[in-house]
Amino acid sequence: MTSAEFMAVVRATSAVRIEPENAIVTKLSDPEGDIEVVIYSQYEDTPSVKGIPSDLIFRLRGISRDLDSGAKKLADRASTCAAIASFAANAAIDELQLELVFDCSRQSDRRPFMQNLLPLPGPPRSSRVLGTEAFVSVLGAVSSHPDAERMSRALAQYEIALRHAVPGHEIMALAHLWIVAETLTPIFREREIVRAGGRDALLQAWGIVIQKLDSSVRERCVLEGNHDLYSQARQASDGFEHGYLEISKIRALSSSRLGELWASIRRAILNALCQWPVVSAHGRPLKVPAGGQ
């Protein structure tokens, strides 16, 4: 079957905002050919106010064998870009919605397409500006990482946690942040084994048995040796996952030190990426997440 070129438009309500005329333009590698990506914010005008930020738009163009596979591929790549944008700005992007995909091949005289009629954008929300430098820095660090697939999974979980960075959602925010910690553990474990000169040397230096290695890595490396934070976050996560704690107790555990957990997990991701990109809005460090609606 002859491949064709497809274009997709994917959108989401977002606390990440791209300034007008500053669209992010990049390419993602793909076995069938590079995928062109343009990310920009939609702005709306009212009779009294001009340029109100609305949805975040991802426009992608790439090669695939048919409409269905093209829609899946381009939507998946939009999700990858959304996770990177969300992390770089430390702000929530709601679940993406595929609005349109169509055959954009120059040689085509018939253009199959699929369109979803989405609701009109809702009222404006507070948002945080994302610049090209920050996005490209994180994208490059993830793409070149020795375990890029694992880093992508970690960022995807962080993105979901950001959607829950609102009062009343503390349990879900902590649950997904803990998944990030677990996802990052093998990266830090291998780094520490190399530094120690082998696994046995590391176990001896830390005075632990092999069964305690991963949990020790999470506490020492991912959560920066903060034993109280590690114990409390683990208790809340396990109690929620396995159902042995009352919800009120889980909520109390999740809420009391969630800010510390956010900061530690964000630093751990940057540490794992071995890069501290420019991730600030108007010069202010992005220590506090901007959550969903």
**Domain boundaries of the chain, sorted by first residue:** 4-129, 147-273
* Beta pairing class for 128-129 and 16-17: parallel
What are the start-end ranges of the E strands in the chain? 4-12, 16-17, 24-28, 35-44, 52-64, 97-103, 113-115, 128-129, 280-281, 284-285
Helix (H) or strand (E) holding 182: helix 170-196
Looking at residue 277, what is its pLDDT? Answer: 45
**Residue bearing the bigger pLDDT, 288 or 77:** 77
Which residue in 175, 187, 188 sits closest to 224, CA to CA?
188
pLDDT tens per residue across span 188-202? 999 999 999 999 999
Find how far residue 188's CA is from the centre of its chain. 19
Query: What CA dihedral angle connects 245, 251, 257 and 261, to 10 degrees?
Result: 80
Q: What percent of the chain has pLDDT over 90?
A: 82
**What's the pTM?**
0.90
pLDDT of residue 124: 75
Per-residue model confidence as pLDDT tens digits over 121-144: 777 788 899 999 999 999 999 999
Give percent helix, percent strand, percent coil of the chain, each to the nearest 5: 50, 20, 30
Which phi and psi angles does 6 have, rounded to 5°? -125, 150
What is the arithmetic mean of pLDDT over 3-19? 95
CB atoms within 10 A of CB 121: 15
The amino acid that residue 229 corresponds to is L
C-alpha span between 86 and 67 (Å, rounded): 28
